């Protein structure tokens, strides 16, 4: 419902407001609607491909015949830092969530095994389960190497047809509406017009922070909006130091992710000297944890001048036609190997939530990559992100239903100064990304983190000065990115150097960088 009069600004009401339209946001919307709530989904995305979920390649890990092995794999991949209770929640809910939503409701066309044995799992299904790094068995459902788009498209179509769900695209949330520790909705913007949306409960599902880095497997819309809004409202934010870099993004113009499933099917990593190097770095070689493989790829690129993925051990074109097509579009002769490099991929931390997606602010929930559930700890196991978004989205949506919206005084976002130059936000983003790439990327040093914190603090101060008197989507995205970047740098200075967060000591006599052991803080 939208109302307008001469004295009251536009406003809308919903039982549940969901900010974001990836798998986690869609799951929350579906679950809340099933509970009878009227749901409004607002999303910056104009098309599905502007969401992080759409870009997911590998697939959806799920529980098969050995849930304990699944839990063990998640915890081991996290360098034993994952929350066991959160992991148990994920694994316990996995099968039912996947079957209910992805198979029965959405009829996602997951690949089927030709021999009908479901990857030798003995679970009675004919799904073609595949295996990825750090998984002890094949348990990943997939659609070629483009699973995300085959999940998200049907999900959005289903919500479009749902009588209790309204989806508003190209609509950005600028600020949360809070009063006395409770969140009452958000101020949103569409086509330059602002509107207050009052909701009984608000679910943040805004994705990750890929836009903070020059190279990322995520869309440019991933500016950390939900994390920044929640942090500015007083919500607890944890584990921001743990940012996962994917080992195998195409190293060239118009980069794309080369799914971990390719290595799961037998592809090998070789350096510029044609040496297979991963056995020297980890006993599982190419199927070691992502943080280990990513740093090994970076080391070998620096040492030899390049790394490529050798796909000759498999029938690449037949097994991964989508990836073969992307190679051909870029003129890459995949038969001679695909040049790869690490690229920012996933934030393991975020807004701290419980097993229902509840934050420490009343009636504010967070799900998906913007949330810190504890499942991933310091390093995420491959193909658990879509599953986590689905499981926590369903749980949060169910818990968010049942509250009535209440109108309170919304923040006054001012527009009293002239508009900023068209390239202002873009130029500031270039500066922010340079700082993050150089000091808060795959490799970090204590000195670099200190430098980054100082620069980012000044940048945030500059942006804050502008947002006091001006309001625009690009300016607020820049504000959000600067808030999140500073959170990452500050927390990285204090976090244990384990998993994704590797610290190097650059004070040795020779000036070489020596990695600080993971137990250096013990």
Active site residues: 290
Which residues share a beta bridge with 352? 372
How far is it, in rounded angstroms, from Cα 315 to Cα 438? Answer: 38
DSSP track, 107-160: -----B-TTSSTTTT-SS--B--B--TT-SS--EE-STT-HHHHHHHHHHHHHH
What's the DSSP call for residue 98? I
Give the E-state strand segments of 276-411 in sequence order. Answer: 307-310, 338-347, 350-352, 364-366, 371-372
Q: What is the CA radius of gyration of the chain?
A: 22
Which residues share a beta bridge with 271? 307
Distance of CA 266 to the CA centre of its chain: 26
Q: Classify each residue of 281-301 as buried b or exposed e, where b means 16 or more C-beta atoms within 10 Å of its C-beta.
A: bbebbbbbbbbbbbbbbbebb
Q: What residue has token string 């921001």?
A: 240
Distance of CA 415 to the CA centre of its chain: 32
Which tokens is 339 given? 């040049």
DSSP track, 238-267: E-TT-EEEEEEEE-SSS--B--HHHHHTT-
How far is it, in rounded angstroms, from Cα 340 to Cα 309? Answer: 7
Which residues share a beta bridge with 246? 343
How far is it, in rounded angstroms, from Cα 483 to Cα 456? Answer: 8
How far is it, in rounded angstroms, from Cα 176 to Cα 233? Answer: 7
């Amino acid at each position: 419902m939208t109302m307008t009069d001469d004295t009251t600004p536009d406003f809308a009401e919903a039982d549940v407001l969901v900010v974001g339209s990836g798998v986690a946001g869609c799951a929350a919307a579906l679950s809340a609607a099933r509970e009878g709530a009227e749901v409004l989904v607002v999303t910056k995305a104009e098309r599905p491909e502007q969401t992080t979920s759409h870009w997911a390649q590998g697939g959806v890990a799920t529980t098969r015949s050995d849930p304990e092995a699944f839990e063990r794999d998640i915890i081991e991949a996290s360098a034993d830092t994952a929350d066991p209770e959160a992991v148990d929640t994920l694994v316990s809910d996995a099968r039912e969530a996947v079957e209910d939503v992805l198979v029965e409701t959405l009829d996602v066309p997951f690949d089927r095994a030709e021999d009908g044995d479901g990857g030798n799992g003995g679970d009675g299904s004919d799904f073609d389960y595949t295996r990825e790094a750090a998984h002890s068995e094949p348990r990943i459902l997939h659609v070629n190497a483009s699973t995300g788009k085959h999940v998200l498209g049907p999900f959005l179509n289903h919500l479009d047809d749902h009588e209790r769900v309204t989806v508003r695209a190209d609509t950005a949330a600028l600020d949360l509406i809070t009063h006395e520790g409770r969140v009452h909705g958000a101020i949103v913007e569409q086509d330059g017009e602002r509107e207050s949306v009052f909701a009984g409960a608000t679910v943040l599902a805004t994705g990750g922070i890929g836009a903070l880095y020059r190279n990322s497997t995520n869309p440019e819309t991933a500016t950390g909006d939900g994390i920044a809004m929640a942090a500015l409202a007083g919500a607890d934010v944890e584990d921001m130091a743990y940012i996962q870099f994917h080992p195998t993004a195409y190293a060239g113009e118009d980069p794309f992710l080369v799914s971990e499933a390719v290595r799961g099917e037998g592809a090998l990593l070789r350096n510029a000297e044609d040496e297979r190097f991963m056995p020297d770095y980890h006993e599982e070689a190419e199927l070691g944890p992502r943080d280990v493989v990513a740093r090994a790829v970076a080391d070998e690129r620096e040492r030899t001048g390049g790394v490529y993925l050798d796909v000759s051990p498999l029938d690449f074109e037949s097994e991964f036609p989508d990836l073969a097509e992307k190679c051909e579009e870029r003129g890459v002769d995949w038969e001679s190997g695909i040049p790869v490099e690490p690229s920012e991929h996933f934030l393991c931390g975020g807004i701290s939530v419980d097993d229902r997606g509840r934050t420490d602010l009343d009636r504010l929930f967070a799900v998906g990559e913007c949330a810190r559930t504890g499942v991933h700890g310091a390093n995420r196991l491959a193909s658990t992100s879509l599953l986590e978004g689905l499981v926590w989205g369903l749980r949060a949506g169910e818990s968010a239903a049942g509250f009535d919206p209440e109108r309170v005084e919304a923040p006054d976002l001012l527009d009293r100064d002239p508009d900023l130059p068209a390239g202002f936000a873009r130029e500031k983003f270039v500066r922010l990304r340079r700082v993050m790439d150089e000091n808060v990327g795959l490799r970090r040093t204590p000195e670099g983190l200190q430098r980054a914190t100082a620069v980012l603090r000044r940048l945030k101060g500059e942006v804050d000065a502008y947002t006091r008197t001006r309001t625009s989507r690009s300016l607020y995205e820049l504000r959000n990115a600067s808030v999140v970047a500073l959170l990452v740098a500050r927390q990285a200075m204090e976090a244990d150097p384990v998993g994704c967060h590797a610290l190097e000591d650059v004070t040795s006599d020779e000036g070489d960088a020596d990695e600080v052991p993971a137990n250096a803080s013990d």
